[in-house]
Chains A and B, each alone.
Chain A
Amino acid sequence: MSYTGKLLRVNLTTGHSQVEELNKQWAVDYIGGKGLGLKYLYEELAPGVAPLSPDNKLILMTGLFTGTIIPLSGKLAIITKSPATGTILDCSIGGHFAAELKYAGYDAVILEGKASKPSYLYIEDKIVEIRDASELWGQGAQETELILREKINQEVKALAIGPAGENLVTMSCITSEFYRQAGRGGVGAVMGSKNLKAIAVRGSGSISVPNIKQFASSMKEFMQTDILTDTNLWANTDGTALLVDFNQDTGILPTKNFQQGTFDDYQAINSDALKAVRSGKKGCFSCALGCGNYSRTGRSTVEGPEYETLALGGSNCGISDLEAIIEFNDLCDNLGMDTISVGNVIAFAMELTEKGIKDFGLRFGDVEAYLKIPGLIAAQVGIGVDLGLGVKKLSEKYGGSDFAMHVKGLEFPGYEPRGSWGMGLAYATSDRGACHMRAWPVAQEAYGDLDAFTVEGKAQLVIELQHYNAVKFSLILCDFWALSLETMGTIVSNLLERTVTEQELSQVGERVVNLARQFNVREGFTKDNDTLPGRIFKETLKTGATKGQLLPLEEYEKMLAEYYSLRGWDRDGRPTDAKLQELGVN
């Protein structure tokens, strides 16, 4: 069995840690990763807990696949209640930490309470120590990792926060291996609120699975025939930067705070431009693709920038200077902040300034001013105090709610929903606010054969994609292996030595989505929160392939009602008892 069957619970208030048996039934119902982490949080967290209080918990969850030779299985799920949205929050982070944790003997770690002083957690097999982090506090996320490597061992694997997390900025992330992030929703601030600067792990144990040689041989076959193929290899040759051209062509490249869907200078920030400064490649543990483009310019070096950073920190701020975007990326990474949310809040402040609503001294395309913002937000000084609020709270303070591009307090990723109407529904119904990782109908609508400008069939599409992704992030696998549910079923069946069908897996996905929804319902979220900013419903786009398009409100509401109905939820978006019973969610 590739679970270790052990869960490490650490109470940072008391300093006590204990090893528990992993709940076997929950592991069957929710597999691992996202799903199992949500289940633990749902069961253990009382409703209404303040996300930055000691009562919130931070859960690190590996999965059935973690630590094995299954390619692209290196990710870790981090689950908590989000300080940015108040919803449930799960992030997945790449690198090598997850496998190392499993080799140390744990499927999961649950962190509770709050340390009395800056601390870091060290795990080495059975050794679990809460150690003093006074020399790490104030350091960048990257410096923190370097110091830990020097102090402990060059091969220690770490999760760390930067100053933004220490200062409880709700767009702060958790970093691993310099450039990998659990990016969204403020997981870094939750760590900061617990006085926890880092978690370092070394593991020496082994993982066994039945018929291991045969299993490995079948995985090698999958690698050759289903991974190292044109469907997936773009991740290696180009990385996500490829999407700049795709989205420019289809008119969904967010530009100047989503005022436009095309960017005149897109060629300055696309994959070809990035290839000119690429200086290496790096993949996560067990990854056969390797999407990490290491880029170097005169001013900075960074792994990336990923598409989301190029879009939200580039075109959406009117910035076409690739060196500046790389510097922005580098600043955010070391300060420990999500480039999507930081890019969005800068763009929103630029529009507030240009419209004369509130003068932040920021204008679209002003590189110098733009590069000062990450430091101000992370340190919580000057206008960084306001901008650190995020787009939603900033709009509540100064106005501009129609063009405050967020859902439930989480800022938009880089796909314009007026050019991909299903994406609008996906943002609105995602468990953690505007997110492209819960369902990404852009592939079918903007790049594929489906009509992007209709709501017909989109509710069903989004539901299927949400189930698919919920399973994938529970196994855990990386998003970039476009494998079928059938293939997932084959691998799971081999590991568990019983037949697991694609229908069963899809039902796990549905269970996870419904449990997440129940968590949010319990926190007071209703249909009113499943909506999009006014701009999407009221303003037509004016350029490119989406010229003349908006998403009509009545069409959106029709799509949302159909979505609730197909899900077996009531008109206010609450899962019905019958649906919960069918799925075994209680």
Chain B
Amino acid sequence: MVLKLIEELCIGCRLCQLACSVAKEEVFNPELARLKIISLYSKSGLNYKTSLCNMCLTCVNICPTEAISHQAGHLIYDQDKCTNCGICITACPESVIASRAEGIALCDLCGGSPACVEWCPHQALMNQEGN
């Protein structure tokens, strides 16, 4: 499974990020979301800036303690194994992984049914089979 955004359908409402911050952090704060989708106007038109986990598995491969694994189509993070080294944060090409007071925050697709996808009002964000 992997998150896919269809930009033409996205209205830039950030409900996906709010839904993520509720599901994962139990607060409203889009900055704490494990994805980022914003649309901004410029003189050339409407531009999208996105950070979505694309299941490249760089983090899985680079983690020295096997704290991140890929099972049943999504990532699994084991905080007990994490040494807070931060390598995954630096290595993530999409800048999705963030540091927390203890360990890291990554997108685990909410274990298979992502809150962001459930909230997207225009089906711009999808959880696609594959990878």
Contacts and interface: CB of A to CB of B under 8 A. Distances in A.
A259 to B, nearest CB: 37
Size bracket, chain B contacts = 20 to 34
A71 interface: yes
B19 A69 contact: yes
Interface string B25-53: 11111011000001111110110010000
A279 interface: yes
Contact of B11 (A149, A179, A282): A282
B13 to A, nearest CB: 5
A282 B28 contact: no
Given A223-B121, A301-B45, A209 B14 contact: no
Interface of A: 67-69, 71, 96, 103, 142, 146, 149, 154-155, 177-179, 204-209, 212-213, 216, 220, 223, 227-228, 236, 279-290, 292, 294, 296, 301, 303
Contact of A216 (B14, B19, B39, B46): B19
Contacts of B22: 69, 212-213, 216
A213 B26 contact: yes
A284 B45 contact: no
A206 B13 contact: no
B11 A285 contact: no
A309 B26 CA distance: 42
B27 A103 contact: no
B76 interface: no
B119 A220 contact: yes
A216 B13 CA distance: 16
Nearest to B18: A69
Contacts of A103: 29, 31
A283 B28 contact: no
B64 interface: no
B19 A290 contact: no
B13 A208 contact: no
Contacts of B40: 149, 154, 177
B100 interface: no
B13 A283 contact: yes
A207 B27 contact: yes
B34 to A, nearest CB: 15
Contacts of B31: 103, 204
A205 B15 CA distance: 17
Contact of A146 (B12, B42, B118, B119): B42
Interface string B89-131: 0000000000000000000000000000011011000000000
B58 to A, nearest CB: 24
B28 A287 contact: no
Given A289-B11, A294-B45, 11 more contacts: A177-B41, A178-B41, A206-B28, A206-B32, A208-B28, A212-B22, A216-B18, A216-B22, A280-B46, A285-B14, A290-B121
A71 B15 contact: yes
